[in-house]
Amino acid sequence: MADDLKVLREAIQRHQQTKHPRWARLASWASARLEAGDARALVGAGGKAADTEAWLALEKKRDLLDLPRLFAAIVPAVKSGPAAERVKLLAQWRDPRVVTGILGLLEKPGRSATTTLPFFKACIEVLKASADVRAREGMLSLSSRYKAIINSTMGELVAGHLAKAAEAMTSLKEPTLGTADDARLAELEQGYDVEKRAADSKAGDVKRAKQSDEGLLAAIYANPDDDGPRLVFADTLSERGDERGEFISLQVRRAAGQGSLETLAREQALYRDHQRVTAWNLPLSAGGECFVHRGFPFVVRASSRSVKPVIGSAAWATVENLTLPNGLSAKQLRALVDDPVMARVRRVANLSRENREKLGAVPRPGWTNVVLAFNHDETFSSASLAPQFPALTSLSLIVAGGALAGDAFARFTKLEALSLTYFQQAVSTDWLMNLPPLKRLSVKGHAYQSWPAELRERQPKLQLLAISAPPPPDRLEGLSIDTLDLGNPQPEALEAASKVLGRVRVLTVSSTRPRQLVERCLPLWTKSTLERVNLNPHLWLVRSAAGWQLCCCFSPLQLDKPGDPQLGLQGLAAVEGIERLLLAPLHVTPLHGPNALPNAEELTWLRDAWGPRLEVVPSNPWLLEQAQALTAAWSSWL
């Protein structure tokens, strides 16, 4: 132990003079041996005043063997302010282990509230002031993946501070080791041969794995449509014991139609650890919110706070759906979208006036789906926008006011899907005259009295029509369409509309009181061509040979309180023609785990209403179908 202490003192002294990482590494080896041979109890790890006093008293002794436990006592129980002061005091030791200790605190902070920002700032200030190349490299590494450590806006904020501090140390280079130091280190390192071999082996493994991963990822980014490179990468990760490999493999095979409820359940289990999934999606998850498809980011909602460091990253090659951030400079926004790696992006959202002005009137032939927002003082017209989006097939348009001109959409000759949100009660329907042949049309936020009839004449290929409320029955009479969405209608209006429907396969409404709708309309639906009626996102009717089956993905909003039978499931039991109620767990998305089903006691009142017609299943039988539908929706709108 005496020799280890002597080596530690020499290593600290020489590191203070040279700042060379090899002296720091030697100090950590000697310190680890000393700590193993003289385990000392933790002091001051609580949040009370006595804990602070004990910690401060121990720190004043400046015993080299106490530094590890002084760092170990900077735990979440210690408030942010006192923890920051402790970090600053330890910085005064000028010990190479301080950089290691602070990087360790940042790696596993145990605190994420915005009130803890002073602690993070203190850590970063000490690292920046250290003039230690290890501090710069550590902060660079942490900044690129901090969203995986703290998966919140706080993580983005700390990542920004880390990146800024590391950038300020760019000119710092690893110092040259003198001949005498090199010889002395070689001599001392012989006494730590086991530690040296372990460190060198680990560094070699990390380097080889990184080089292998970089090559495999490059193949994926070069051929993002090809499943082959993704599966090769997945196999490599699995051989290494990395569960990300299994996750990629499961996602690729499900997207190819080879999934099952069992494999999807395994996907959910792997996805449940959001911190780990965020780490898998780096570097893009550091720049915004990522949604995964085929194992890699596919949809990204970029954040102006953190997207700048990942602009131009090769990882964008798998992304097809991008929501632009607010607040980026024109230069940064153009750099984000114009980089060649963004060539695969097809859908772009948040094209507000501010973002459109920053991007300029530049043709973007790759963008086939855009989300545009126009203010009260703006006029929308395809004449000015068509040259910018010559391949546009899908448009989501939000218009705050002002009339739509008759030729508003005429120049978008390839448009197949239009979602229009209009914040004005009455507008001209002239724009319907020159609509390109659509397959999907959704119009919300205003009332038309005549346009469904016009659409029936002008849009024979229309497959989906969604409107805020049913128009007068004569305007829907004979309308033949695959899917009709009538918003949140009154029972009387839905009944009138149901009497005149033509050939419609799926009817969608959104109601918190579905019993009234079903009581009035089910006999009409039974006589129609309807195969399915969506009553709200978690409750729907499906036609079967015996009648209608009511399907419910359990949500507390769906279950009536006893004594209030008008809301939903209890009251629907009395509606003639519904043969069965199938109750299953709700998943927020197919990759989220199930909500808990109510227990037998909580379901007593529901069983009293439905009797043997109630079937409760422990797993969601529609989950795989919903997952495939989500994938299909992503693809159809791109």
Q: Which residues of 413-450 are buried (b: 16+ CB within 10 A; e: fewer)?
A: eebbbbbbbbeeeebeeebbebbbebbbbbbbebebee
Of 450-464, 564-578, 589-603, the range with the lowest mean pLDDT is 450-464
Instruction: Give the global pTM.
Output: 0.82
| Residue range 325-329: mean pLDDT, rounded | 94
Give which of 409, 426, 415, 467 is closest to 443, Cα–Cα. 467
- Cβ atoms of 85 and 121 within 8 Å: the answer is no
pLDDT more than 70, % of the chain:
92
Give the model's pLDDT for residue 604.
85
Write the pLDDT tens digit of every residue in 227-264: 999 999 999 999 999 999 999 999 999 998 898 989 99
Tell me if residue 372 falls in helix, strand or coil: strand
- Average pLDDT of the chain to the nearest whole number: 88
Distance CA 110, CA 107 (A): 9
Residue 356 has pLDDT above 50, yes or no: yes
Beta strand residue intervals within 501-562, DSSP E: 504-508, 532-536, 539-544, 547-553
Give the model's pLDDT for residue 375.
85
Give the model's pLDDT for residue 530.
96
Residue extents of the structural domains in the chain:
40-177, 361-468
Give the model's pLDDT for residue 311.
95
Give the model's pLDDT for residue 449.
53
Give the model's pLDDT for residue 557.
46
pLDDT more than 90, % of the chain:
61
Query: HSE on the CB side for 456, CA within 13 Å?
Result: 16
Residue 542 has pLDDT above 90, yes or no: yes
- Cβ atoms of 1 and 34 within 8 Å: the answer is yes
Give the model's pLDDT for residue 638.
38
Q: What is the pLDDT confidence band of residue 525, given thresholds at 50, 70 and 90?
A: very high
Give the model's pLDDT for residue 522.
96
Of 56-70, 291-305, 341-355, 612-626, the range with the lowest mean pLDDT is 612-626
Of 53 and 443, more confident: 53
Distance CA 614, CA 544 (A): 16
Residue 326 has pLDDT above 70, yes or no: yes
Q: Where are the alpha helices (DSSP H) in 223-308?
A: 227-239, 244-255, 261-271, 274-280
| Residue range 621-630: mean pLDDT, rounded | 81
Of 188-202, 364-378, 556-570, the range with the lowest mean pLDDT is 556-570
- Cβ atoms of 484 and 501 within 8 Å: the answer is yes
Q: How does strand 347-351 pair with strand 369-374?
A: parallel
Give the model's pLDDT for residue 438.
85
Q: What is the pLDDT confidence band of residue 72, given thresholds at 50, 70 and 90?
A: very high
Residue 73 has pLDDT above 90, yes or no: yes
Distance CA 487, CA 536 (A): 10
Give the model's pLDDT for residue 565.
46
ω into 460 cis (within 30 of 0): no
Residue 636 has pLDDT above 50, yes or no: no
Q: How far is the CA of 150 from the CAs of 201, 247, 320, in angstroms? A: 30, 22, 26
Of 63 and 456, more confident: 63
